[in-house]
Amino acid sequence: MTVQEAILARRSIRKYSDRPVEPEKLKTVLEAARLAPSAKNEQNWLFIVVQDKEKLARLAEAAYGQKFVAEAPAAIIVCATSRRFMACGQPTDTMDCSIAMCFILLQAQELGLGTCWLGRFDADKVKKILNIPEEISVIAMTPLGYPAESPAARPRKAAEEVIRYESF
């Protein structure tokens, strides 16, 4: 599968089979995240893998009742280890972790795994569930597993609406 094929095929999956994710596939997904680019190559991230059913259920509660988090065989929580701002004014923690999350989503797609980027969760509750130190920020999380659904593509704006050349 090419990157373009992964981009075209990727969907947010909210129904998972109970088939466990093979350790080698999980390792491949995490390796893609680890190799993602980051500002000044600081690699400002930590990836927490959760496979314990009780913790997944508690994470679903922390995600405001998004039950599919508990139904997946695994979840990856993407955390930042520090925060600074680039010259353009953007924070490195959310930028670096977002790039790594994109790599996770695309690598998972290539391997036949489903994901759903979650930003709707109580970060303090996630920290408590996973014993994450105060100085670490929880940026995003995704369930990870084999899809039990095949959602249709969601509509996208036309290229002319979102692309400009040379100036606005």
pLDDT of residue 141: 98
Structural domain for 20, as ranges: 3-151
Quickly state the pLDDT bin for 154 (edges 50, 70, 90).
very high
pLDDT of residue 153: 93
Region 143-166: mean pLDDT is 96
Look at residue 144 and tell me if it is in a domain: yes
Look at residue 132 and tell me if it is in a domain: yes
**What is the CATH number for 36?**
3.40.109.10
Look at residue 124 and tell me if it is in a domain: yes
* pTM, two decimal places: 0.96
Sign of CA dihedral 122, 80, 118, 143: negative
Look at residue 17 and tell me if it is in a domain: yes
Q: Give the span between the Cα atoms of 56 and 61, in whole angstroms.
A: 9
Region 87-101: mean pLDDT is 96
Quickly state the pLDDT bin for 96 (edges 50, 70, 90).
very high
Quickly state the pLDDT bin for 2 (edges 50, 70, 90).
very high
Q: Give the span between the Cα atoms of 68 and 71, in whole angstroms.
A: 5
* Chain-centre distance for alpha carbon 83: 19
Look at residue 160 and tell me if it is in a domain: no
Look at residue 108 and tell me if it is in a domain: yes
pLDDT of residue 130: 98
Region 134-160: mean pLDDT is 96
Percent of the chain with pLDDT over 90: 99
Per-residue pLDDT tens over the stretch 112-141: 999 999 999 999 999 999 999 999 999 999
Q: What's the one-letter identity of residue 4?
A: Q
Look at residue 166 and tell me if it is in a domain: no
Mean pLDDT of the chain: 97
Burial of 4 (0-12, 13-18, 19+ CB in 10 A): exposed
Residue that is written with structure tokens 């014993």 in the block: 131
Region 38-59: mean pLDDT is 97
Q: Give the span between the Cα atoms of 110 and 117, in whole angstroms.
A: 16
Look at residue 9 and tell me if it is in a domain: yes
Number of domains in the chain: 1
| 38, 76, 82 from 96: Cα distances, Å | 5, 16, 11
Region 72-76: mean pLDDT is 98
35: left (phi over 0), alpha (psi -120 to 50) or beta: alpha
